[in-house]
């Protein structure tokens, strides 16, 4: 059977733009009529997505699938690591959590995951014409080369040409690109077909000499990609949280150490809200909305929040009627009690919650991952009863209401199981839910932002989000470089 051609996007480090370039390539190839799929062997991120069959994968690979106009699936990201502490992560294999492992044990055991990576890549190559592969971190980590399952070993397995991306904004672009090439083996070096200088600001002609130096020293074609503030690609992780730039309602999101799925709030910022990430009580100020986002380790993040005095500040704002929202782990923190009888997040025990919602949560080892369709059950935060939305769940633990009104009714896919979700306070100012992705729903997002503006007596018209969120990143790549020449150098042409 003929297998799909592949092109691999590797980087000189994390957060240099691999995900954005891979997303752009998926869109450009799809626009050109190719049947294209994304692939990343191993991802480490607390931003995850759920497929239609309940598999959990990295948010970046779900976005790349959407850019390619296909449905996300587990094989696109067969290994996902979700950090729980600096030295420990949850391991998700083919979309299902398999338990937690110390970082040392995972690195030693990574070769055992290679058959999963290989079979997943082969399954995609059987079905598609092109697979766009994203690397992880840097391919030049000499101490990790023997256990590599995400970079050059994948390129060799797929016989994939490599495009190497560097970030000029962080400085040292020559050391980044030429140093990486120098540390590769001759066989690995031969796979690299082009260099991409990403995030260039200002007059492109000022870097003409730099392009010549890179070309002469590497013998490779060099392409320069301009910096663009927002290309509409969801963040792969929380490595660089955006600063608040909007003119609309001010939203303060508590950025605890293991905050997860912070991409939940990107649609609010895109619509014009001023989304700020706060870590100290003094940074909270007087926002229009306080948000407690998801958390991979709810108990320890709750302790962190208390140690910084954020609990008292949140309670004081809520007492004055400031709208407050908890998503997933944030819902659990807003309740009266958080129980962990099985020691899911460390030593067995229980913690008092913030007490702003009449609910109690019990952590459980079983992880719930579902796509859901919901309807609001209780009016809150300007959201009317009956308002529909699409979302997804990723959580451990179940939450019981102590007389609180539920937020929504959900239908879980696959199967359509109906469940009651979340809770709303008596004054309708505090709300919690397990539903991620709420603000990607246009009507819900618009209603919330309009409500927040009215409370302050302000007029605000939220910006409309594009119907096709990935058109911009495809247009950016086409306008910046000669894409056909780049793809031809990688052996992809009709």
Give the E-state strand segments of 31-145 in sequence order.
Answer: 36-39, 42-44, 48-50, 56-58, 79-85, 88-93, 96-102, 130-134
d(CA 246, CA 224): 29
Count of beta carbons in the 10 Å neighbourhood of residue 133: 25
- Asked whether the beta carbons of 322 and 451 are under 8 A apart, the reply is no
Q: Where are the alpha helices (DSSP H) in 185-309?
A: 186-191, 208-218, 266-270, 281-284, 298-307
Give 121's contacts (C-beta < 8 A, 6+ positions apart).
Answer: 39, 41, 75, 131, 133, 154, 157, 158
Catalytic status, residue 258: no
Q: Where are the alpha helices (DSSP H) in 228-309?
A: 266-270, 281-284, 298-307
Give 193's contacts (C-beta < 8 A, 6+ positions apart).
Answer: 161, 162, 163, 220, 221, 489, 490
Pairing assessment for the beta strands 88-93 and 96-102 based on DSSP bridges: antiparallel
d(CA 369, CA 367): 6
Token pair belonging to 159: 């016989």
Token pair belonging to 99: 């338990």
Q: Single out the catalytic residue among 328, 380, 395, 490.
A: 328
Query: Crossing angle, helix 208-218 and helix 173-183, to 10 degrees?
Result: 10
What is the distance, to the nearest Å, from the Cα of residue 467 to the centroid of all Cα atoms in its chain? 20
Catalytic status, residue 328: yes
Q: Single out the catalytic residue among 6, 26, 436, 490.
A: 436
Nearest to 283 by CA among 233, 243, 338: 243
CA distances from 94 to 42, 79, 215, 256, 365 (A): 11, 6, 40, 28, 18
Secondary structure letter of residue 405 according to DSSP: B
- Asked whether the beta carbons of 222 and 244 are under 8 A apart, the reply is no
Sign of CA dihedral 436, 227, 446, 313: positive
Residues catalogued as catalytic = 328, 436
């Amino acid at each position: 059977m003929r297998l799909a051609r592949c092109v691999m996007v590797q980087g000189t480090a994390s957060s240099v733009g691999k995900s954005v370039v891979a997303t752009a390539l998926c869109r450009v190839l799809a626009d050109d009529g190719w049947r294209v799929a994304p692939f990343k062997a191993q991802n480490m991120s607390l931003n995850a997505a759920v497929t239609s069959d309940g598999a959990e994968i990295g948010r970046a690979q779900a976005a790349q699938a959407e850019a390619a106009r296909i449905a996300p699936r587990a094989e696109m990201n067969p290994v996902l690591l979700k950090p729980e502490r600096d030295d420990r992560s949850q391991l998700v294999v083919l979309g299902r959590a398999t338990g937690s492992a110390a970082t040392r044990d995972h690195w030693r055991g990574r070769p055992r995951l290679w058959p999963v990576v290989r079979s997943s890549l082969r399954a995609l190559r059987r079905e598609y014409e092109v697979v766009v592969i994203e690397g992880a971190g840097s391919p030049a980590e000499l101490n990790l080369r023997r256990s590599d399952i995400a970079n050059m070993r994948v390129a060799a397995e797929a016989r994939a040409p490599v495009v190497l991306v560097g970030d000029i904004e962080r400085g040292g672009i020559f050391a980044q690109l030429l140093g990486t090439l120098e540390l590769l083996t001759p066989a690995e070096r031969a796979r690299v077909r082009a260099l991409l200088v990403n995030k260039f600001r200002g007059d492109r002609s000022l870097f003409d000499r730099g392009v010549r130096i890179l070309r002469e020293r590497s013998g490779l074609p060099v392409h320069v990609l301009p910096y663009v503030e927002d290309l509409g690609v969801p963040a792969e992780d929380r490595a660089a949280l955006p600063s608040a730039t909007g003119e609309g309602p001010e939203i303060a999101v508590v950025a605890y150490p293991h905050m997860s799925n912070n991409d939940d709030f990107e649609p609010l910022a895109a619509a014009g809200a001023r989304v700020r990430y706060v870590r100290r009580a003094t940074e909270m100020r007087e926002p229009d909305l306080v948000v407690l986002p998801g958390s991979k380790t709810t108990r320890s993040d709750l302790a962190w929040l208390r140690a910084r005095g954020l609990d008292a500040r949140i309670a004081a704002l809520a007492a004055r009627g400031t709208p407050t929202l908890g998503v997933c782990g944030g819902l659990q923190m807003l309740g009266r009690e958080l129980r962990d009888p099985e020691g899911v997040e460390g030593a067995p025990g229980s913690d008092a919650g913030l007490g702003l919602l009449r609910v109690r949560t019990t952590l459980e080892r079983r992880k719930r991952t579902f796509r859901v369709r919901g309807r609001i059950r209780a009016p809150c935060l300007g959201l009317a009863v009956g308002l529909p939305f699409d979302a997804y769940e990723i959580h451990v633990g179940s939450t019981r209401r102590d007389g609180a009104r539920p937020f929504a009714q959900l239908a879980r896919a696959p199967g359509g199981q109906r469940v009651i979700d979340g809770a709303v306070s008596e004054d309708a100012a505090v709300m919690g839910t397990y539903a991620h992705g709420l603000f990607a729903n246009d009507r819900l997002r618009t209603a919330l932002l309009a409500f927040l503006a009215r409370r302050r007596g302000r007029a605000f018209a939220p910006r409309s989000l594009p119907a096709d969120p990935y058109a911009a990143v495809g247009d950016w790549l086409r306008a910046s470089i000669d894409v056909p020449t780049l793809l031809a150098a990688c052996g992809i042409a009709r």
